[in-house]
């Protein structure tokens, strides 16, 4: 009998065992999570975290799975999905309060409808606003650090805490959230009043650029590597002659070399091996060590190093 599971089900009525993570990542790969929980309230979320810590069960906070590679063996722990119960969006003057599970696209549209500018860059990023805060997501010259003025988080002990923008310590693709093991429940944005037509036009322009330059037709996790200082990862990969390079079903996109895509039937091992070979080739040719922008979850036979 799984006593831990019994206790988990007393806290949440949405508990699945052996849930395939390929259903919950934009790469569409990943083995089963031992436990998959979808809390309905912040209190329920806090209680699940406290139980995991009390029982020394590893846990992982999942949003849209858009920046994540889960191993083929899955995850020997609890995946806590911050989903639809955390999608509420409230707008007051130039401030937007969005639940961590709200998609960036939905928040950007809400801001546009309210005549608020500044979030156009995020309208096509396929993730939740909670995940975007954690990694300080950005695109086309914008990033979350420019618009975030605060956040509600849960501490490791499951206590609620408000952090202002300086306390979030947002830098290039990072914040204090992961190092401090916080869980984001709500994000507060400070935007500027603007013209709805101009905001809409900017969003349409960026959407067209994404469609033209990014491999949106294939499962991926967006930009696979961080931007090395002084370089662009996609150009380094292209100049290394790796456009279209593949391992199994994983492939360097021919449309944008900064993306690794699943062209069909890829495994997590294929994707990580491809990343490893790309990194080695770029380092050999240019002396630049690429770092993964995507996060890894679970055990991999040959972990990506560096």
Mean pLDDT of 286-301: 94
**Distance (Å, whole) CA 262 – CA 12:** 34
Q: Which two tokens stand for residue 239?
A: 């100049």
212 DSSP assignment: H
| pLDDT bracket for residue 157 (50, 70, 90) | confident
Mean pLDDT of 86-108: 96
Mean pLDDT of 76-102: 96
Tell me what pLDDT residue 55 has.
95
Q: Put the strands of the sheet holding 183-190 in their side by side order.
A: 89-92, 95-99, 183-190, 148-154, 160-164
Share of the chain above pLDDT 70, in %: 99
Mean pLDDT of 109-126: 95
Q: Model confidence over 125-143: pLDDT tens digits?
A: 989 999 999 999 999 999 9
pLDDT score of 75 more than 90: yes
Tell me what pLDDT residue 305 has.
67
Q: What is the mean pLDDT of the chain?
A: 95
215 DSSP assignment: -
Contact predicate 199/115, CB 8 Å:
yes
**Distance (Å, whole) CA 298 – CA 280:** 23
pLDDT score of 207 more than 70: yes
Q: Model confidence over 1-37: pLDDT tens digits?
A: 589 999 999 999 999 999 999 999 999 999 999 999 9
Alpha helices by DSSP H, the chain: 3-11, 42-54, 104-113, 129-134, 196-213, 233-239, 268-286
Q: Model confidence over 253-283: pLDDT tens digits?
A: 999 999 999 999 999 999 999 999 999 999 9
Q: Which two tokens stand for residue 215?
A: 């491999």
Mean pLDDT of 225-250: 97
| pLDDT bracket for residue 158 (50, 70, 90) | confident
**Distance (Å, whole) CA 9 – CA 61:** 18
- Does this model's pTM top 0.85? My answer is yes
Q: What amino acid positions are annotated as catalytic residues?
A: 173, 223, 293
Sign of the alpha-carbon torsion through 99, 100, 106, 112: positive
User: Cα 31 from chain centroid?
Assistant: 18
Q: What is the DSSP string of 56-123?
A: T--EEEESS-TTEEE-TT-EEEEEEE--GGG--EEEETTEEEEETTSBHHHHHHHHHHTTEES-GGGT
pLDDT score of 191 more than 60: yes
| pLDDT bracket for residue 60 (50, 70, 90) | very high
**Distance (Å, whole) CA 119 – CA 15:** 34
Residue 193 in 3-state DSSP? Answer: strand
Tell me what pLDDT residue 304 has.
73
**Distance (Å, whole) CA 24 – CA 67:** 11
Q: Which two tokens stand for residue 273?
A: 């091996």
Phi/psi for 94 (5° steps) reads -100, 15
Tell me what pLDDT residue 18 has.
97
């Amino acid at each position: 009998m799984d006593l831990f599971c019994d206790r988990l089900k007393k806290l949440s009525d949405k508990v699945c065992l052996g849930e395939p993570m390929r259903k919950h990542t934009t790469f569409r790969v990943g083995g089963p999570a031992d436990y998959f929980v979808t809390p309905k309230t912040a209190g329920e979320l806090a209680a699940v975290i406290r139980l995991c810590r009390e029982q020394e069960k590893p846990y992982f906070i999942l949003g849209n799975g858009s920046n994540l590679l889960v191993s083929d063996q899955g995850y020997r722990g609890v995946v806590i999905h911050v989903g639809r119960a955390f999608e509420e969006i409230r707008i007051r003057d130039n401030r937007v309060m969005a639940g961590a599970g709200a998609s960036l696209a939905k928040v950007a549209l809400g801001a546009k409808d309210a005549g608020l500018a500044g979030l156009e860059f995020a309208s096509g990023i396929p993730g939740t606003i909670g995940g975007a805060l954690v990694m300080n997501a950005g695109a086309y010259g914008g990033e979350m650090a420019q618009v975030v003025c605060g956040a509600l988080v849960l501490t490791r002990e499951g206590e609620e805490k408000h952090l202002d923008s300086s306390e979030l310590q947002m830098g290039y693709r990072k914040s204090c959230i992961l190092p401090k093991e916080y869980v984001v429940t709500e994000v507060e944005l400070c935007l500027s009043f603007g013209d709805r037509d101009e905001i809409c036009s900017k969003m349409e322009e960026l959407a067209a650029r994404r469609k033209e330059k990014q491999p949106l037709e294939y499962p991926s996790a967006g930009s696979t590597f961080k931007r090395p200082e002084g370089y662009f990862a996609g150009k380094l990969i292209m100049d290394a002659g790796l456009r279209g390079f593949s391992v199994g079903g994983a492939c360097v996109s021919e449309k944008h070399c900064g993306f690794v895509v699943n062209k069909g039937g890829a495994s997590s091992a294929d994707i990580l091996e491809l990343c490893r070979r790309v990194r080695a080739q770029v380092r050999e040719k240019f002396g630049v060590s690429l770092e993964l922008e995507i996060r890894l979850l679970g055990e991999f036979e040959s972990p990506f190093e560096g």
